[in-house]
Amino acid sequence: MEIQCLNCGTKSSGNYCPVCGQKTSTHRFTMRHIAGQDYLVSIFYLKRSMFTTLASLFTRPGHTVREYVEGKRVEITNPLSLLVVVVLAFGFLEHYADYHLMDVVSGDRELARNLEHLLAEHPKIFYISMIPFYAVISFLLFRRAGHNFAEHIIMNVFRSVVLVVLTVIHLVTGALVNNLAVMVWVSRAFSIMGVVYGTWLIYQYFSPFYRNKLLLLLRALTAYLLPFVLFVFGWVIVEAAKG
């Protein structure tokens, strides 16, 4: 039986595509896939260049991720492995750099300052633990695309990867610049970049499914900001209950 390769489109009957080498059994992601061992074990086998993957994530994020989810997997690093690597790199830098995200926390109201502290202290925990919430929201907002929950998880893992990479660049910049007054502004610029990037990725990812681009943009912005707003809301309630 001839199967069409999801990566390059070649038809063949073997176990591997004769043109690009991807397994012909490549299929859609499921939750079992994400939890499954074969997927997690590959963390230690980053067979493709991480840098090629990061470069495409920074130049055409949504298209790269959608194509990956839909089956073009050969040139892209497994996102869960990538997340582990960038989080380890972040932890390493956080430990050794003279500059810390906490240094530029400057909210003038107590509540805002406490929240900024929390996020500056545990950015990687925040980025990782928020993935399921982001996936629920994007799953609900973009049902028309017909992607399953696992595929929304994968999409949001890629988003978290880039946000952690941006935080790594932020840390390195802080260590190089070595001037806190400047870094307060640089740090704001990085926050804005995070919002712009997250929205851009989601917008591009779902662009084939929505004709009305303004509505798509609003949905993308909502998908990016709503989980964060809900998080802040929940956090304020917990803080109020404590105090």
The window from 16-24, 35-43, 94-102, 107-115 that contacts Zn ion (CB under 5 A) reads 16-24
Sequence-distant (6+) residues with CB within 8 A of 122 are none
Determine if 163 is a binding residue for Zn ion (CB under 5 A): no
CA 168 to chain centre: 14
Least separation in angstroms between residue 4's CB and Zn ion is: 9
Least separation in angstroms between residue 20's CB and Zn ion is: 3
Determine if 82 is a binding residue for Zn ion (CB under 5 A): no
Determine if 20 is a binding residue for Zn ion (CB under 5 A): yes
Q: Which residue has the tokens 């998908």?
A: 223
The window from 8-16, 36-44, 61-69, 140-148 that contacts Zn ion (CB under 5 A) reads 8-16
Determine if 76 is a binding residue for Zn ion (CB under 5 A): no
What proportions of the chain, in percent to the nearest 5, are helix, strand and coil?
70, 0, 25
Q: Which CB atom, from 3 or from 84, has the smaller least distance to Zn ion?
A: 3
Least separation in angstroms between residue 8's CB and Zn ion is: 3
Least separation in angstroms between residue 127's CB and Zn ion is: 33
Give the binding-site size for Zn ion (rule: CB under 5 A): 7
Task: Among 17, 82, 119, 130, indicate the residue that binds Zn ion (CB under 5 A).
Answer: 17
Least separation in angstroms between residue 62's CB and Zn ion is: 22
DSSP 8-state secondary structure symbol assigned to residue 13: S
Task: Among 3, 10, 34, 222, indicate the residue that binds Zn ion (CB under 5 A).
Answer: 10
Determine if 6 is a binding residue for Zn ion (CB under 5 A): no
Q: What are phi and psi of 198, to 5 degrees?
A: -60, -40
Determine if 7 is a binding residue for Zn ion (CB under 5 A): yes
On whether the CB atoms of residues 55 and 76 are closer than 8 A, the answer is no
Least separation in angstroms between residue 64's CB and Zn ion is: 17
Task: Among 19, 34, 193, 221, indicate the residue that binds Zn ion (CB under 5 A).
Answer: 19
Determine if 8 is a binding residue for Zn ion (CB under 5 A): yes
Q: Which two tokens stand for residue 18?
A: 């004769």
- C-alpha–C-alpha distance, residues 151 and 34, integer Å: 9
DSSP per position, 172-240 = HHHHHH--HHHHHHHHHHHHHHHHHHHHHHHHHHHGGG-S-HHHHHHHHHHHHHHHHHHHHHHHHHHHH
- C-alpha–C-alpha distance, residues 23 and 15, integer Å: 6
